């Protein structure tokens, strides 16, 4: 049910204001139509009555008595002596035509005789000098504040060979008053004005209903308040909000979104094509939904920020109007997740070592119970030498304690799973600063874990092997991790770096996080990570190559 037009909070609704405005416009149109009607009526009156007055003036002008009297006046006779005869002819013309006044004008333009005696002696308005040249005509004159149509006809001398004008006859008729014209045109004018008013009212009522339905019956102040509140709410939200229309133009972008997308210093983005803002194509695709699907917790790197995108379709009345995307800066969260990943890796290593020590202790316990003391000594010696050899091999090549400890621990994890982890003899790594060492342990730990999983899970691999090479130069640390597992298909080499993707199937606890972390760390430090076949020609497992700059770009701290 539609709402009636009413006062809300002390003001008219927008629909009511539109209705009143339309009524005012209709009223102005009716006044304009009335004015045009009166003007047209006056034009018709001037044309019709002007012709009648011309006939009257010409009739009086051709009378012999009038011509003779004006000849005598021109000859010097006393004009007042002939005025009586001239007045009688003027009155005759008045009776014949219904004119308002008939004037007899002398050659000097002075009124000699008139049906209105008060005008005798005045100077007549003859419309210029047409009468002096023997020409007549009609014109509008002002007689005592009354607007009239005046027709004048010259009186031509009857002397032989003299065609000059000896005077003129003027016949005047007053325009009807506005009231008289309205009264005369009332039936037709009322019909047309009534129909116009009725159509205008119906159209206005329809428009007001459409406006009222569109504005929910709200007033202009309320609509302005809603717009202000919307802007205030959008800019008060800490999460970024970006709206993109179906034409690819930005419709909404709050302050948090501009800060997250590094657009604070540029021009106002609202109204501009999203593709013209200088954003990464992947970010543009996330904001516009080019793939047609909704985005849920999609991870992307915007400058030095790790941003989570959630995009949904926006529609009104069942019609799509674009997309709305929320942006959450999760840089600190991903940093904590990276640290947690390192801690989990250490935890797994300790668990593997605990499991290994348990097995060794059980073996030693069994040998002791059997009295095989020589075998116990040999076993302990073998274990000690093996651990010492692994530790020495790693320590000679990796001077950073955290990375060296990680490689030793991963060696134990790999052995537990039946995989050989080899540190390339050409590896060289000096001691690193805290942030670079933390990032490198995260990168190496995740890449080695994935490689061990791939090598251990390959059914057709007799001797699962993972090769690790770490080398630092003056600018960056270079890492290569190679396995002899099944490898990664070409069409999945970009997908493996997407959060949530995993080639290992559904695993409780969340898979598909390690490689995205590796890419994010490399991107933030200005480096890169690429994946390829481990052997020329393909089919020899996977090889990950990482370049991790020692000094991150200006404005970044190197943390993931």
Q: What is the pLDDT of residue 149?
A: 84
pLDDT score of 33 more than 80: no
Q: What is the mean pLDDT of residues 164-188?
A: 75
Tell which wins on pLDDT, 545 or 365.
545
Average pLDDT over residues 392-407: 85
Q: Please give the residue that has the higher pLDDT: either 471 or 380.
A: 471
Q: Virtual CA dihedral for 342, 344, 346, 349, nearest 10 degrees? A: -140
**Which pLDDT does position 547 carry in this prediction?**
94
Q: Which residues contact 528 (CB under 8 A, 6 or more apart)?
A: 522, 546, 547
Q: What is the pLDDT of residues 428-473, one digit of tens each?
A: 999 988 788 888 888 898 899 888 888 887 766 678 899 999 999 9
- CA–CA dist 296, 310 (Å, integer): 5
Average pLDDT over residues 414-431: 88
Confidence at 7, pLDDT banded by 50, 70, 90? very low
Q: Is 3 helix (H, G, I), strand (E, B) or coil?
A: coil
Q: Which two tokens stand for residue 284?
A: 């543009």
Is 90 exceeded by the pLDDT of residue 19? no
CATH 3.30.450.20 domain position(s) in the chain? 31-180, 237-329
Predicted local distance difference test score (pLDDT) of residue 5: 42
CATH number for the segment(s) 237-329: 3.30.450.20
Q: 297 or 218: whose pLDDT is higher? A: 297
pTM for the model: 0.46
CATH 1.20.140.10 fits 371-549, yes or no: no
Question: Residue 536 pLDDT more than 70?
Answer: no
| Residue that has been written with the tokens 């003007």 in this structure | 39
For residue 336, the model assigns a pLDDT of 62
What tens digit of pLDDT does each residue of 475-529 get? Answer: 899 999 999 888 888 777 777 776 544 444 433 333 446 787 788 788 878 888 9
Class for domain 31-180, per CATH? alpha beta
**Which residues contact residue 154 at a Cβ distance below 8 angstroms, ignoring those fewer than 6 apart?**
61, 130, 131, 134, 135, 136, 165, 167, 168
DSSP letter (8 states) at residue 552:
P
- At 387 the pLDDT is 62
Output the pLDDT for position 382: 62
* 41-50, 120-129, 180-189, 302-311: least confident range: 180-189
What is the residue-wise DSSP string for 188-227? HHHHHHHHHHHHHHHHHHHHHHHHHHHHTT-BHHHHHHHH
**Orientation angle between helical segments 514-524 and 434-456, nearest 10 degrees:** 150
pLDDT in tens, 218-231: 655 666 666 666 66
- Say whether pLDDT at 131 is over 60: no
CA 241 – CA 311 distance, rounded (Å): 10
Q: What pLDDT does 18 receive?
A: 67
pLDDT higher than 80, residue 171? yes
Q: Which residues are CB-contacts of 30 (< 8 A; sequence separation ≥ 6)? A: 193, 196, 197
Cα angle at 372 between 371 and 373, to 5 degrees? Answer: 95
Return the percentage of the chain with pLDDT > 70, whole number: 69
């Amino acid at each position: 049910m539609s709402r009636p037009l009413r006062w809300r909070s002390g003001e008219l609704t927008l629909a009511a204001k539109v209705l009143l405005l339309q009524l005012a416009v209709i009223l102005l149109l009716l006044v304009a139509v009335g004015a045009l009607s009166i003007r047209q009526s006056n034009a018709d009156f001037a044309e019709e009555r002007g012709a009648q007055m011309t006939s009257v003036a010409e009739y009086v002008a051709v009378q012999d008595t009038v011509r003779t009297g004006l000849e005598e006046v021109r000859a010097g006779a006393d004009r007042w002596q002939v005025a009586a005869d001239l007045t009688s002819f003027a009155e005759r013309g008045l009776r014949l035509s219904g004119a308002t006044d008939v004037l007899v004008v002398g050659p000097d333009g002075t009124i000699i005789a008139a049906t209105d005696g008060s005008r005798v002696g005045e100077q007549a308005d003859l419309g210029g000098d047409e009468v002096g040249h023997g020409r007549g005509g009609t014109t509008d004159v002002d007689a005592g504040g009354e607007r009239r149509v005046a027709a004048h006809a010259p009186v031509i001398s009857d002397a032989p060979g003299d065609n000059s004008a000896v005077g003129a006859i003027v016949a005047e008729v007053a325009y009807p008053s506005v009231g008289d014209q309205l009264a005369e045109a009332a039936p037709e004018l009322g019909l047309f004005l009534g129909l116009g008013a009725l159509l205008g009212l119906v159209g206005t009522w329809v428009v007001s209903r459409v406006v009222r339905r569109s504005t929910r019956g709200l007033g202009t102040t309320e609509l302005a308040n809603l717009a202000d509140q919307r802007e205030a709410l959008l800019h008060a939200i800490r999460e970024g909000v970006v709206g993109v229309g179906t034409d690819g133009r930005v419709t909404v972008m709050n302050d948090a979104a501009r800060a997250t997308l590094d657009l604070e210093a540029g021009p106002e983005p609202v109204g501009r094509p999203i593709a013209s803002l200088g954003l990464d194509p992947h970010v543009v695709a996330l904001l516009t939904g080019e793939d047609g699907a909704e985005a849920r917790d999609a991870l992307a790197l915007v400058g030095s920020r790790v941003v989570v995108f959630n995009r949904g379709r926006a529609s009104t009345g069942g019609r799509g109007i674009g997309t709305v995307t929320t942006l959450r800066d999760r840089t600190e969260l991903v940093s904590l997740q990276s640290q947690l990943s390192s801690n989990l890796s250490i935890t797994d290593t300790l668990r593997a070592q605990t499991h290994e020590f348990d097995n060794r202790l059980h073996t030693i316990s069994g040998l002791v119970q059997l009295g095989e003391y020589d075998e116990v000594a040999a076993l302990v010696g073998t274990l000690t030498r093996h651990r010492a050899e692994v530790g020495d091999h790693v320590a000679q090549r990796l001077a950073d304690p955290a990375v060296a400890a990680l490689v030793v621990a991963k060696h134990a994890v790999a052995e537990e799973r039946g995989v050989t982890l080899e540190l390339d003899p050409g590896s060289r790594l000096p001691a690193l600063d805290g942030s670079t060492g933390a990032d490198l342990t995260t990168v190496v730990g995740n890449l080695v874990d994935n490689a061990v999983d791939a090598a251990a899970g390959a059914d057709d691999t007799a001797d699962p092997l993972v090769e690790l090479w770490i080398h630092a130069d003056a600018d960056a640390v270079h890492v290569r991790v190679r396995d002899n597992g099944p490898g990664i298909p070409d069409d999945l080499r970009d997908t493996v770096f997407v959060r949530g993707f995993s080639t290992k199937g559904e695993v409780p606890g969340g898979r598909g996080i390690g490689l995205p972390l590796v890419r994010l760390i490399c991107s933030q430090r200005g480096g890169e990570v690429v994946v390829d076949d481990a052997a020329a020609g393909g089919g020899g497992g996977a090889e990950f190559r990482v370049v991790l700059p020692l000094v991150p770009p200006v404005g970044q701290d190197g943390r993931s």
